[in-house]
Amino acid sequence: MTDDSWQNQLYFGDNLEILRHHIPFSSVDLIYLDPPFNSKATYNMLFKEPGGQESPAQIAAFEDTWKWGKESDQAFHEVVTLGPRKLADLMEALRAFLGVNNMMAYLTMMAVRLVEMHQVLKPTGSLYLHGDPTASHYLKLIMDAIFGVMNFRNEITWKRTSAHNDPGRYGRNTDIIFFYTKSNNWTWNQLYKPHDEEYLERFRNRDPDGRAWADDDLTAKGLTGGGYEYEYKGIPSLWRVPEETMRRLDKEGRLHFTKAGGIRLKRYVNDVKGVVLQALWDDIPPINSQAKERLGYATQKPEALLERIIRVSSNEGDLVLDPSCGCGTTIAVAERLKRRWIGIDITHLAITLMKNRLRDAFGPACSKYEVIGEPADLPGAEALAQQNRHQFELWALGLVEARPARDKKKGADFGGDGVIHFRDDTSGRYKKIIIQVKSGQVSVSHIRDLKGVVEREKAATGIFITLKPPPKAMRDEASEARFYEPESFPGRKYPRIQIVTITELLSGKKLAYPRFGNATFKKAPRQAKDSPQDKQKELQEVMIPYTTS
């Protein structure tokens, strides 16, 4: 089902508040959720330099360590007093068992969000929760309490690496994906995996037209339930099919009369759909360092994994939600498969990555979408700066398509907050633009500092982004830096130090530098949208639309 007025949505903010106040009840067909696993790890955004080597400048994408505090205590009270009775009983039991600690904080924050996800799902909707052994056993109980034990469909095991060396125990090379539905009537499009070579070797017989076939038993001897006893063309037996069906198969050329005087059924290789998809997924490899779709984002999942889930549990025009969508794999695959989508993330770095990914992958063919929660005017920018200066910085860098220069939490400000890599000739060498972002009061000393960083880093130019209007002395100091003049563009001059305000950027002003090529973010490969009938590249799966009843 499609709505011509619909616009896809990308939200910046806490998914709990967005689920409660922005997404209508019973409106979503499919939710894929890949939350932090509470493994006490900090995941970095791994940037690459233009030459391909890893950059020493990395930034924390997120920390998955959850701590018990006022927020989790309030969420626990909410779940126990307002949530489903079974969930309340379970959470009290878990708290008694685990105590008040980080794991309990994680489970509480997950529980209150899963309740809201259950609310926004349609009665025919499905939810896939991706986890690892750190907390999956507890999350399964929470899901049972919210969705009901009868609506648990599968525990899918995804083999995410070929081998893993974990001394003293078995290698941890799998993730768990829980599959739940909201009711006993859900969307299900059956997928089949191709048969392996050993199975296909059975089809060694050939008809005159070249069709390969294998013979199969037609007798019902030994089968429970009996069969049909009659004589066909002088051959008496207990058959699996009635005589009428036997005549039809003979007319279609589907019977093989053996030299030993028996009758067997011809099964053609092109009639075999494949093996029904099982709960062990060992045929989708992780994203390796050379994969075209790799963007460097922590915990990025392969598109083939999301493609399988979206094909199975939704149809064209259905609404897919990812409430913690990171670099946007779910929404990119949903866009390609002609689904509507909603993505939510709590960092501006992720929002920037998703916007770039959609643009690079689909270009002008990308469906219309709106970004909600990002500043759209000066008051909004001022509010973000007041609320979280680090997120303001990431947002401002996203406005000019610059990547963060380093993790702000790892040390003092060295003068450069972001960087843009660009080419202005055919040599293949990339040059650098240093970006500095300020949300508070600014002075001429900031421009002098930026000049020093540009010189030290041997950068082509420096850009100073400011929330406050710069005084005349700052502009005078910037103009003294003269111009950058690329050899390949004779006569063209670009200010070596540029000052640009947030107001100007929101009005559409572009930075002045040669745009022969840009390598700031790794680009997603260009993709064409396809339909559910198209074959998957990684798996030649056959899809049969079906809705359970």
Query: Which runs of E-coded beta strand occur in 258-328?
Result: 263-268, 275-276, 280-281, 319-322
Instruction: Provide the pairing of β-strand 152-159 with 280-281.
Output: parallel
DSSP H stretches of helix in 218-339: 243-251, 303-313, 329-336
Tell me the domain boundaries of the chain.
8-191+276-376+526-547, 197-271, 402-518
pLDDT of the residue at 543:
33
Residues 133-157 pLDDT 10s: 888 999 999 999 999 999 999 999 9
Confidence tier at 520 by pLDDT (50, 70, 90): low
pLDDT of the residue at 325:
87
- Most confident of the following: 1-10, 244-253, 276-285: 244-253
Residues 283-292 pLDDT 10s: 888 765 444 5
Residues 9 and 354 sit within 8 Å (Cβ to Cβ): no
Among 237-246, 261-270, 347-356, the range scoring the smallest mean pLDDT is 347-356
Confidence tier at 462 by pLDDT (50, 70, 90): very high
229: part of which helix (H) or strand (E)? strand 228-232
pLDDT at 108 over 50: yes
Confidence tier at 440 by pLDDT (50, 70, 90): very high
**Cβ count within 10 A of residue 445:** 11
Q: Which fold has domain 402-518?
A: Trna Endonuclease; Chain: A, domain 1 (3.40.1350)
Residues 34 and 324 sit within 8 Å (Cβ to Cβ): yes
Q: What is the mean pLDDT of residues 112-124?
A: 97
Q: What is the mean pLDDT of residues 50-72?
A: 57
> ∠187-191-192 over CA atoms, to 5°?
160
Q: 245 vs 4, 239, 250, 366, 435, CA distance in Å?
A: 49, 11, 9, 51, 76
Q: Give 458's Cβ-side CA count (13 Å radius).
A: 2
Q: What is the mean pLDDT of residues 485-514?
A: 91
Long-range contacts of 219-227 (CB under 8 A, 24+ apart): 219/262
CATH number of 8-191+276-376+526-547: 3.40.50.150
Confidence tier at 519 by pLDDT (50, 70, 90): low
Q: What is the mean pLDDT of residues 438-450?
A: 94
Residues 465-484 pLDDT 10s: 999 999 999 999 999 999 99
pTM strictly above 0.75: yes
pLDDT at 341 over 70: yes
